[in-house]
Amino acid sequence: MGMSGIAGLDRERAGVLVRLALAEDLGDVGDVTSLSVVPEGLVAEARIITKEDCVVAGLPVAEAVFKAVDARLTFSAMVDDGDYVAAYSEIARLEGDAASLLTGERTALNFLQRLCGIATVSARFAKAVEGSGTRILDTRKTTPGWRDLEKYAVRAGGGSNHRIGLYDRVLVKDNHRELAGLEGSGGIGRSVERARKRFPGLEIEVEADTLDEVCEAVEAGADYVLLDNMDDSTVAQAVELNSGRSKLEASGGITEDRLSSLAAAGVDYISCGALTHSVKAIDLSMEIIPCTSSS
């Protein structure tokens, strides 16, 4: 099956992670248990089962794991990434050499359980603001090396991606503007002016801690203003002061309980690091059954 229109996964980067993960697990010797215990040439079927309700993400990565172990294995996705499934649903089916299936099992499930967890939380957050026009964003608070995968999982759950890295949007935070302001007053204005001149093709976002800083950022022409750790009342005031000139993003101290009120205040985005840094992995298992015939 396909990926239900989710913006594509970078398979080359995913492949690098798959190779590293397998090297970590197999070392220089391989799966010594399966090599010594499982009869050579035994063919088996396997099913990957989710033990709890979730939104699926990461099936192409799991397939890449098994194919890297043994290109002869067949992998059939039973659902699409982005699909909601109930507990004890079969999400993938495999067939091939039994030892190879066992060798790839844990690495494949490790990828799947985390990515499904991210997609599931992202779906809950997106549902909470549905119909408001507010979009849920992730952050750069991702597992090192996993950013492409984790941001893909956010999209699978119905969330959207903030900047991917330090290279694709200017985000002026307090330390940046304080350093820029050492040459005189107006750290925010100076920062925006310098960024616009140096990288004219990039959007500029400014972090604001107070309503005065919101006004300064908007007047400086920031494309986005990040409302940092503001309570709901202050966020509502910032929306009024902005009058639609810059896009507004609420961030910091975001909990699921606050999502609907922040959306009602009229912010364009709500960003939350917890989508990627604090999710609970989904409980998955692989059930394996020997085939009646072997090769």
Cβ count near 217 (within 10 Å): 28
**Which tens digit of pLDDT belongs to each residue from 214-253?**
999 999 999 999 999 999 999 999 999 999 999 999 999 9
H helices, E strands: number in the chain: 11, 12
Q: Supply the residues annotated as catalytic.
A: 106, 141, 173, 207, 228
Among 1-5, 194-198, 209-213, where is mean pLDDT lowest? 1-5
Residue 272 has pLDDT above 70, yes or no: yes
CA distances, 278 to each of 114, 143, 163, 225, 264 (Å): 10, 10, 19, 25, 26
- For the segment 158-207, what is each residue's pLDDT rounded down to a tens digit? 999 999 999 999 999 988 877 876 554 568 998 999 999 999 999 999 99
What percentage of the chain exceeds 70 in pLDDT? 94
pLDDT of residue 292 exceeding 70, the answer is: no
**Per-residue model confidence as pLDDT tens digits over 48-103:** 999 999 999 999 999 999 999 999 999 999 999 999 999 999 999 999 999 999 99
Give residue 186's pLDDT.
65
**pLDDT band at residue 9 using 50, 70 and 90 as cut-offs:** confident
pTM of the predicted model as reported, rounded to 2 decimal places: 0.93
- Supply the pLDDT for residue 2: 37
How far is the CA of 79 from the CAs of 12, 64, 216, in angstroms?
A: 23, 16, 49
Q: Which domains does the chain have, with CATH numbers?
A: 11-126+280-290 (3.90.1170.20), 130-277 (3.20.20.70)
The pLDDT score that the predictor gives to residue 294 is 46
User: What strands lie across the sheet with 269-271, from one edge to the other?
Assistant: 135-137, 269-271, 247-251, 224-228, 204-208, 170-172
Q: Is 80 exceeded by the pLDDT of residue 32?
A: yes
